Amino acid sequence: MAYNLKEEVQKPERLSGGHRMCAGCGAPVAVRGVLRALNPEDKAVIGSATGCLEVSTFLYPYTAWQDSFIHSAFENAAATIGGVEACYKVLKKKGTVDETFKFIAFGGDGGTYDIGFQSLSGAMERGHDMVYVCYDNEAYMNTGIQRSSSTPRFADATTSPAGKVIPGKPQNKKNLTEIMAAHNLPYVAQTTFIGNFKDLHEKAHKAIYTPGANFLNIMAPCPRGWRYPTEDLMEICKLAVETCVWPLYEVENGVYTLNYEPKNKLPVEEFLKKQGRFKHMFAKGNEWMIEEAQKFVDEKWEALLKKCR
């Protein structure tokens, strides 16, 4: 599909400014990018799990959302939007509704990888015509930066503090994008903010307009939890891609496509050293942590290359 980015950025915003998200947060950037992929004539029903995004954009009676918005519980955003989509199909069949609606659920990694996983898996398996978007900031940021199954190994979080007992989170990050691909969905993709946002825009449009249940996983850094200066948001995302910590790829009907391959793959420490949550990894005697992190990234990258080629 030909995508005119100059025209895309001229579309009216569907998430208003003035919300209470933190400066340098990736979540509102992800939401704006996804909603901009909607055709102007289409309406949308948006659902959001409890989390940073919900509490900062919808404080009754005020809302930053220009489309219909539903705040569900932490664990059931996917089921909620799936239910609305099922209702819409019935009303459409009866002729009660004429307009075209799209159905999109947003959730952070806590409400997606963990608490909401059962709801997400069920909605995807049932094949509701919807998109689930995870804004992955790799911890429970809204409730105090507790570790989630998305938190990378060695990251310092309040429930996996780096110290003498443990060196940060002991376990590696769950690969939810691969788990969603295993649901045999029409479209699954992984993206973030890099360059001119072309990758994000194109994948969001595919996810919204490919019939069936589709999934987007968007790396959306958190300045408080990751501990980086707010102005470094884009640089952090770029380094995640260039080090292959967060590869850009998509899976269409089971076919893997790598969307970007770094010309010179950077060492993982270039990504880690920009964030305070990994500061302890650079202390003397902790070199083994960086080596383990590099080994994990390399193994996952090579496995992905095989699937894409």
CATH number at residue 182: 3.40.50.970
pLDDT in tens, 194-227: 888 999 999 999 999 999 999 999 999 999 999 9
**Domain extent at residue 149:** 5-308
Instruction: Quote the tokens at residue 9.
Output: 């950025």
- Specify the pLDDT at position 196: 82
**Strands (DSSP E) along the chain, which ranges?**
43-48, 58-59, 62-63, 68-71, 101-108, 130-136, 187-191, 213-219, 249-252, 255-258
Instruction: Quote the tokens at residue 235.
Output: 């640089």
Instruction: Quote the tokens at residue 255.
Output: 């076919």
Q: Which has the closest alpha carbon to 106: 248, 237, 204?
A: 204
- Specify the pLDDT at position 218: 98
Kindly give, in sequence order, each residue whose CB lies less than 8 Å from that of residue 89, ignoring residues fewer than 6 positions away: 129
pLDDT in tens, 123-154: 999 999 999 999 999 999 999 999 999 999 99
pTM for the structure as a whole: 0.96
pLDDT in tens, 266-288: 999 999 999 999 999 999 999 99
Asked whether the predicted pLDDT for residue 15 surpasses 80, the reply is yes
- Specify the pLDDT at position 10: 81
134 has which bridge partners? 107, 217
- Specify the pLDDT at position 164: 92
Region 37-41: mean pLDDT is: 94
**Rounded Cα gap, residues 294 and 298, in angstroms:** 6
Residue 194 main-chain phi, psi, to 5 deg: -150, 140
Region 44-54: mean pLDDT is: 95
pLDDT in tens, 75-110: 999 999 999 999 999 999 999 999 999 999 999 999
Region 65-82: mean pLDDT is: 96
- Specify the pLDDT at position 2: 61
pLDDT range class, residue 24, cuts 50, 70, 90: very high
Instruction: Quote the tokens at residue 133.
Output: 């978007």
- Specify the pLDDT at position 3: 65
Total structural domains within the chain: 1
- Specify the pLDDT at position 66: 96
Region 162-173: mean pLDDT is: 96
- Report how far apart, in Å, the C-alpha atoms of 38 and of each of 77, 137, 206 are: 20, 24, 10
Q: Exposed, middle or buried: residue 63 (CB in 10 Å: 0-12, 13-18, 19+)?
A: middle
Q: Exposed, middle or buried: residue 126 (CB in 10 Å: 0-12, 13-18, 19+)?
A: middle
Kindly give, in sequence order, each residue whose CB lies less than 8 Å from that of residue 126, ignoring residues fewer than 6 positions away: 82, 213
Half-sphere exposure of 88 (CA within 13 A, CB side): 18
Asked whether the predicted pLDDT for residue 1 surpasses 80, the reply is no
- Report how far apart, in Å, the C-alpha atoms of 128 and of each of 43, 105, 132, 184 are: 17, 12, 10, 13
Region 254-265: mean pLDDT is: 97
- Specify the pLDDT at position 153: 98
Asked whether the predicted pLDDT for residue 233 surpasses 80, the reply is yes
Question: What are the helix (H) ranges across 187-273?
Answer: 198-209, 223-226, 233-242, 269-272
Region 1-27: mean pLDDT is: 86
Amino acid at 247: P
